Amino acid sequence: MFYWILKFIVIGPIVRLLFRPWVEGLENVPTEGPVILAPNHLSFMDSIFVPLMVPRRVVYLGKSDYFGKWYSWFFRGAGVIPVRREGGEAGEAALNAGIEQLRQGLAVGIYPEGTRSPDGKLYRGKTGVARMALRGECPIVPVSLIGTFEVQPPGKKLPRIKRVGIRFGRPLDFSRYEGKDDDRFVLRSITDELMYEIMMLSGQEYVDEYAAKVKKRMNGGGAAPVVERDRVAAG
């Protein structure tokens, strides 16, 4: 109930008034049944714009850091599922949390880049979204957010008032890979196809490197660039 109150009474009307979002391809989002919505990630506000424009309920996997703070009520009410983003067991727990929601017939939002773009470019996708789609037996709808980087780029606390757009691409069916959710070559192939569709929808420049590594290097971490042999690495 709180989700719909936020969407239609509290947050939704304000967002629509200020940012006047335009939408293309909404008919590509299935009206029922499990589906993954996979957007590019440019702004903190991306997780508000996409669910606002989709008539069905959308749950997101979100950083556990957002919970336990004074504003955690908003994320819980908005249907964000808290997960830890570290690898290993935490990564598997996040995957299972998404699959559980899919098996309940929900739409799950997940950012294949894993983190926000540091400069507005589209970065290499992690393969968790592919694994989730195969295990959850559902299609993936590529989504492109346009203009949200200018609304709230990294480091900017308050958003600028600017019109934004959302494009929903055709659903991608990967059922032909059933039973191959642990095949790293299959997972990389699915992920690369998804990122290509997002690139075509958004018009962004694509960088074959993980955004998290680029951020680390930009912040003085000295991370080495991803090389071609890493193309089959799991996300």
Q: What is the pLDDT of residues 82-94, one digit of tens each?
A: 766 555 566 787 8
Candidates 133, 108, 101; CA nearest to 235 is 133
Give the per-residue pLDDT at 155.
Answer: 84
Give the per-residue pLDDT at 233.
Answer: 34
Strands 165-168 and 140-146: antiparallel
- Dist CA 102 CA 84 (whole Å): 19
Give the per-residue pLDDT at 232.
Answer: 33
| CA distances from residue 195 to 2, 7, 58, 180 in whole angstroms, order as listed | 33, 28, 21, 20
- Dist CA 172 CA 200 (whole Å): 14
**Is a pLDDT exceeding 70 seen at residue 234?**
no
- Dist CA 152 CA 107 (whole Å): 25
- Dist CA 177 CA 151 (whole Å): 38
Our CA angle for 149, 47, 44, nearest 5°, is 40
* CATH, residue 73: 3.40.1130.10
**Taking the CB of residue 30, how many other CB atoms lie within 10 A of it?**
14
Q: Looking at residues 179-198, what average pLDDT do you find?
A: 97
Give the per-residue pLDDT at 220.
Answer: 79
> Taking a C-beta distance cutoff of 8 angstroms, is the pair 144, 111 a contact?
no
Our CA angle for 189, 195, 197, nearest 5°, is 105
Q: Looking at residues 113-128, what average pLDDT do you find?
A: 95
**Taking the CB of residue 224, how many other CB atoms lie within 10 A of it?**
8
Give the per-residue pLDDT at 231.
Answer: 34
Percent of the chain whose predicted confidence (pLDDT) is above 70: 81
Q: Which domain holds residue 189?
A: 2-232
At 11, the pLDDT band (50, 70, 90 cuts) reads: confident
Q: Looking at residues 167-176, what average pLDDT do you find?
A: 98
Q: Looking at residues 165-170, what average pLDDT do you find?
A: 98
> Taking a C-beta distance cutoff of 8 angstroms, is the pair 47, 53 a contact?
no
77-81, 104-108, 147-151, 165-169: least confident range: 77-81
Give the per-residue pLDDT at 72.
Answer: 62
**Is a pLDDT exceeding 50 seen at residue 13?**
yes
Give the per-residue pLDDT at 157.
Answer: 86
pLDDT in tens, 29-84: 999 999 999 999 999 889 889 999 999 999 987 666 655 565 566 666 666 777 66
Mean pLDDT value across the chain: 87
Looking at the 3D structure of the chain, how many domains does it have? 1
